[in-house]
Amino acid sequence: MEIKSVILAAGKGTRMKSDTAKVLHKIFDKPIIAYVLDSTKDITSENFVIVGHHADDVKAFVEKNYRNAKTVLQSPQLGTGHAVSMACPYLEDFEGQVIILNGDLPLMRSESLKKFIDYHNSKNSDLTIMSTILDDPASYGRVIREADNSLKSIVEAKDTTPEQKAVKEINVGVYLLNWRKIKAAFSQLTTNNAQGEYYLTDIIEWGKKNNLNVHAFILENSDESYGINSRKDLAYATKIMNERKLNSLMDNGVTIVDPSSTWISEDTEIGTDTTIYPFTYIEGKNKIGKNCKIGPCAHLRGDVEIDDNCKIGNFVEVKKSKIGHNTNAGHLSYIGDSELGSHINIGAGTITANFDPITGTKSKTVLKDNVKIGSNTVLVAPVEIGEGTNIGAGSVITKNIGEWALGLTRAPLRVIAGWVKRK
Ligand code: UD1
Ligand code: CA
């Protein structure tokens, strides 16, 4: 059945204490909202993102990066139930299912969403919520069950009785609705609660009153339910996400010498028998081949493609570049906006000067196969070095050079004999 999503991202995020929208805060250089949208890939045909605080910024990000996503303004923000009702006009004739996701759940995996949807379908449910069990249920909504263990309601922490407060099953903030049957609920919610808001969670009681089939799916790995409300949450989520990534890489044949000092983004692919040395930080989307050595202390900043058998050594930073097989950049270099062929050696301290501060533009450096760059070279882009050419150490290269040549710029060496003694 066709599924569309409503993603709630209009809230203020007060506890972030920030001038940036909460959902635009980043984990490995990718905004929280992008993780949520990516988790719906292969699941939804269209996504409605509800925006409010910093609406323009969130709208710009979402619409630039996701073609199947629309933003809908919620102003003022009167609660999560009110937020969903903003999408109702766009879903008036929709006959499929709607998955609602809080916009601050970057750790939710699409595999878990798929299990959740399968559960909903297998139970012939009309409305399914996702729950999980937490030792410390903190300020999450509590999942209240009937004597026969079926779902009764969700009670927000601020509205609980002491007995309800002790419940450890919490509402994750993911809901699946047979839309045609539930849509009427959104014009009937009330604000009769501690926060005076329209609670999305009240649709459960509404569903029960209207004889609909409601269920709770218990998420096994409660880490995925971790919502971001503060900077501490952001740091913790980054850590969980990193551990998950490193474990999956190690399971797939990548050596991580020291997982406690290595950071690798979710969107980085790494081939087998590659070794990642300590203090390496890899953010954004990257593809690293087999049998490479990366680090220690390497920094890959995204849009980096490295083919097999390469070495990116200590204090080497790479951004938006393609590197062919058997190419080495061992020490203290910056490679940005570059296209490097195979069997290249980049000497220590080589810099691709890709940024022109006068025009504010960036240009490309192209090095063909078998080029050897001497230490401490500056390649001033745009520049292209032909196949097999060598560049002498300490050169500043400002023009293209053809193949199999030697290029060097060097002030003549002066030796003044006895100079020190005379002084
Ligand atoms: C909500 C749930 C709670 C659940 C928790 C999980 C409700 C009433 N409560 O609580 O049961 O345990 O999430 O993390 O839904 N938002 C809007 N417009 C609004 C208000 C909020 O778009 O008017 C968005 C926020 O940006 C956020 C999401 O909805 O992404 C959840 O809102 P938040 O205020 O964080 O809800 P919680 O109190 O965490
Ligand atoms: Ca929240």
Per-residue confidence (pLDDT) for residue 62, from 0 to 100 = 98
Q: Is the C-beta atom of 11 inside 6 A of ligand 1?
A: yes
Query: How many Å lie between the centroid of ligand 1 and the Cα of residue 72?
Result: 16
The CA-CA-CA angle for residues 11, 15, 18, to 5°, reads 85
Nearest CA to ligand 1 atom 34: 11
d(C-alpha 266, C-alpha 207), whole Å: 37
Sites in the chain below the pLDDT cut of 70: none
Burial 257-274 (b: 16+ CB within 10 A, else e): eebeebbbbbbbebbeeb
* Long-range contacts of 157-164, Cβ-Cβ distance < 8 Å, separation of 24 or more: 158/193, 158/194, 158/195, 159/193, 159/194
| 331 counts as catalytic | yes
- C-alpha pair distances (Å), 282 with each of 307, 318, 319, 346: 16, 10, 10, 20
Give, in words, the CATH class of 252-407: mainly beta
Nearest CA to ligand 1 atom 20: 79
User: Is the bond leading into 89 cis (omega within 30 degrees of zero)?
Assistant: no
Among residues 53, 54, 325, 331, the one annotated as catalytic is: 331
Contacts of residue 166, Cβ cutoff 8 Å, sequence gap at least 6: none
Atom of ligand 1 nearest to the CA of 172: 6
Fold for 3-225, please state it: Spore Coat Polysaccharide Biosynthesis Protein SpsA; Chain A (3.90.550)
Q: Which residues of the chain are in CATH 2.160.10.10 domains?
A: 252-407
80 alpha carbon, closest ligand: 1
Q: Which residues of the chain are in CATH 3.90.550.10 domains?
A: 3-225
**φ/ψ of residue 207, rounded to 5:** -60, -45
Atom of ligand 1 nearest to the CA of 202: 8
For the stretch 172-225, pLDDT in tens is: 999 999 999 999 999 999 999 999 999 999 999 999 999 999 999 999 999 999
Look up residue 116 and give its amino acid: F
Q: Identify which of 80, 142, 192 to mutate to test ligand 1's pocket (most ligand atoms within 8 A of the CB).
A: 80
Per-residue confidence (pLDDT) for residue 12, from 0 to 100 = 87
For the stretch 230-264, pLDDT in tens is: 999 999 999 999 999 999 999 999 999 999 999 99
